[in-house]
Structure 1
């Protein structure tokens, strides 16, 4: 278990093992998630780093126009009365 001390300014240094586990280097940002009285520290990621995170090898990329068409078609389908 790792621990660190909080300064009078509310600051602390993340232990080396914690930084290594999260892949943190100088200048990186972290996020704090509070769940049921516990805090989880996550490495903050930029939107650019998320590119391709949902990509699947069996599915081609979809353009924004194709997405808009699909959303419009689904909305139209839902708006039509059932027969």
Structure 2
């Protein structure tokens, strides 16, 4: 695990070290998400663009398995959203 020290300026800004930016693939114009959990642990992640995700639906599939219909895609999205909602409701109990 790598550790980086950041200093907050009077304007609330921080500079990400070049070694971190390189390791995380962060370039000028990249969008980041900062998530802080209830215990105060922060996670900083690069937001993936559509080009970053290109081909991810077909990774590991044979050529015959790569023919998705809109119904297949809709069902997959519904399944993922339901799973996310279940995880979220489980945390609130």
Same fold (TM over 0.5): yes
Ranges in structure 2 where 5+ consecutive residues have no aligned partner: 76-93
Report the CA distance shift for 1:51/1:61 in structure 2 as closer, same or farther (over 3 A). Answer: farther
TM-score by length of 1: 0.66
Deviating above 6 A after TM superposition, structure 1's stretches of 4 or more consecutive aligned residues are none
Alpha-carbon distance in 1 for matches of 2:72, 2:48: 25
Larger Rg: 1
Alignment of 1:1-83 (within 5 A): 1-35=3-37, 36-55=39-58, 56-58=60-62, 59-64=65-70, 66-67=71-72
Deviations 1:24-80 (A, max 9, x none): 11111111122342111111112343232132323223121x438x96xxxxxxxxx
TM-score by length of 2: 0.60
Ranges in structure 1 where 5+ consecutive residues have no aligned partner: 72-83
What is the root-mean-square deviation of aligned Cα atoms in Å?
Answer: 2.3
Q: Give 1 or 2: higher helix fraction.
A: 2
